[in-house]
Amino acid sequence: MERQQAIVVDGKALANDIRSELANRVTELGRAGQRPPCLCVVLVGDDPASASYIKGKQRACTRIGFESVEHRLPANVRERDVLALIEGLNRDPEVDGILVQLPLPAGIRAEAIAEATDPAKDVDGLHPINAGRLLSGQPGLVPCTPLGIIEILKRHEIDMQGARAVVIGRSAIVGKPVGILLLQQHATVTFCHSRTRDLAAVTREADILVAAAGSARMVKGDWIKPGAAVIDVGVNPIDGVLVGDVDFDAAKDVAGLITPPRGGVGPMTITMLLCNTLRAYESRTNSS
């Protein structure tokens, strides 16, 4: 019998569906005489990739009717000046979400920035209070990429309960939180990292494989269990082209479902940022 090709996730289409639901919510708020949610993005330095991510996030906001405010600071700014800006944004009643684009220039600690952000406005879900809430199963703001991954799996009706899920990567923004979310969905989760022995043997067991290592095309076709759901988070510039952590051409012949290196996880990450901003707005204004 001929094997069917994997379903290739259309992250843009999923994202558009969710974004139109969000736009409808903004229209409802306007009809009720309420202001729209407001996301404030902070860019430190002039990294072109970060500047382009920020632009994409702002565009996504304005398209659905959210307010979007940008603060740019020079690369040589002092950490205490960034902290002072964040404290001002924490106090501003019109700001619902605060996002400081990572990575930050040397000398500015991402942890200090995360801890300075009001947990109620921490739309990146990086404040230790939100990380703790996620771990203890309490409601809080959860990092966007992990939320987007779970949404992709749900919208494709991938059965997570009892599934073997393998996550490559253990960062605070992707690997760890996506593993915890998969656990909440009752998957049996294994975390892998740079010191995992015989990684391919572990990934071959996975019904759901999340690759978030930042290593170009490291996951080969024969690392994948036939029929598995493969979520490729990696964004790796190779000769001016962005490639994923998964060897897409080989993997699509083995997997049951796969995200493409572009137009898969990325659009869902931005969409979950919008969802988090709305959530922050609703819980701050009691308007859900």
**∠ Cα 75 76 77 (to 5°):** 95
Instruction: Examine residue 213 and tell whether it contacts ligand NDP (CB under 6 A).
Output: yes
Q: Which is nearer to ligand NDP, 117 or 269 (CB)?
A: 269
SS3 204: coil
Nearer to ligand NDP, 169 or 256 (CB): 169
Active-site residue, 57 included: yes
Closest distance to ligand NDP from the beta carbon of 113 (Å): 15
Q: Give residues 216-245 in contact with ligand NDP (rule: CB under 6 A).
A: 218, 233-236
173 near ligand NDP, rule: CB under 6 A: yes
Q: Does 197 bind ligand NDP (CB under 6 A)?
A: no
CB 167 within 8 Å of CB 202: no
Number of shown-chain residues binding ligand NDP (CB under 6 A): 26
Rounded to a whole number of angstroms, the minimum distance from the CB of residue 166 to ligand NDP is 11
- Does the footprint of ligand NDP cover residue 209 (CB under 6 A)? no
**Active-site residue, 101 included:** yes
Cβ nearer to ligand NDP, comparing 175 with 260: 175
Strand partners, 99: 41
Q: CB of 34: closest distance to ligand NDP in angstroms?
A: 30
3-class DSSP state of 43: strand
Does 175 sit near ligand NDP (CB under 6 A)? yes
Q: What residues contact residue 46 under an 8 Å CB cut-off, 6+ apart?
A: 74, 75
The mark string for 242-281 relative to ligand NDP (x by CB under 6 A, - otherwise) is -----------------------xx--x------------
Cα gap 42→106, rounded to integer Å: 16
Beta-sheet strand order (sheet of 164-168): 7-8, 257-258, 229-232, 208-211, 164-168, 188-192
Spatial distance between the Cα atoms of 212 and 230, rounded to a whole number of angstroms: 11
144-155 and 11-31 are packed helices; what angle lies between their axes, rounded to 10 degrees?
110
Active site residue 12: no
Reduced to 3 states (helix: H, G, I; strand: E, B; else coil), residue 188 is strand
Q: Is 123 in the site for ligand NDP (CB under 6 A)?
A: no
Edge-to-edge order in the sheet of strand 97-100: 67-73, 38-44, 97-100
Per CB under 6 A, does 189 bind ligand NDP? no
For residue 25, the 8-state DSSP code is H
With CB under 6 A as the contact rule, the residue among 56, 65, 105, 214 that binds ligand NDP is 214
Structure tokens at 122: 């921490």
Q: Which residues are catalytic?
A: 57, 101, 124
Positions touching ligand NDP (CB under 6 A) are 145, 168-171, 173-175, 192-196, 199, 212-215, 218, 233-236, 265-266, 269
